[in-house]
Amino acid sequence: MACIDARRLRKVYGSTVALDGVNLRVEEGRILGLIGPNGAGKSTALGAILGLLPYEGDLKVLGRDPWTERDKLMTDVCFIADVAVLPRWMRVAQALDYVGGVHPRFDRAKAEAFLAKTDIKRSSRVRELSKGMVTQLHLALVMAIDAKLLVLDEPTLGLDILFRKAFYDTLLNDYFDKSRTIVVTTHQVEEIQHILTDVMFIDHGKIVLESSMEDFENRYVEVMVNPEHLAEARTFQPIHERQVFGRSILLFDGVDRGRLAPLGEVRTPSIADLFVAVIGGQSAETQGVAA
| Per-residue pLDDT tens digits of the chain, which is 291 residues long | 799 999 999 999 999 999 999 999 999 999 999 999 888 999 999 999 999 999 999 999 999 999 999 999 999 999 987 666 788 999 999 999 999 998 889 999 999 998 998 899 999 999 999 888 888 898 889 889 989 999 999 888 777 888 888 888 888 888 888 889 999 988 778 888 989 999 999 999 999 999 999 999 999 999 999 999 999 999 999 999 999 888 999 999 999 999 999 999 999 999 999 999 998 754 333 344 444
b/e 163-183 (16+ beta carbons within 10 angstroms → b): bbebbbebbeeebbeeebbbb
Q: Pick left, alpha or beta for residue 271 (phi over 0 → left; psi -120 to 50 → alpha; otherwise beta).
A: alpha
The DSSP H or E segment spanning 4 is: strand 2-13
- Per DSSP, the three-state class of 234 is helix
Task: Write the CATH number for 147.
Answer: 3.40.50.300
Residues 42 and 184 in one domain: yes
In 3D, which of 226, 181, 230, 210 has the Cα closest to residue 271?
Answer: 210
Q: Are 240 and 250 in contact (CB under 8 A)?
A: yes
Neighbours of 26 (CB within 10 A): 24
End-to-end Cα distance, the chain? 24
Residues 11 and 125 in one domain: yes
- Per DSSP, the three-state class of 21 is strand
- Per DSSP, the three-state class of 263 is helix
Q: Domain boundary residue among 195, 211, 227?
A: 211
Residues 107 and 25 in one domain: yes
Q: Domain boundary residue among 211, 226, 253?
A: 211
Please enumerate in sequence order all residues whose Cβ is within 8 A of that of 130, keeping only pairs 6 or more positions apart, or say none. Answer: none
Q: Domain boundary residue among 193, 211, 229?
A: 211
Residues 222 and 146 in one domain: no
Domain that holds residue 259: 215-287
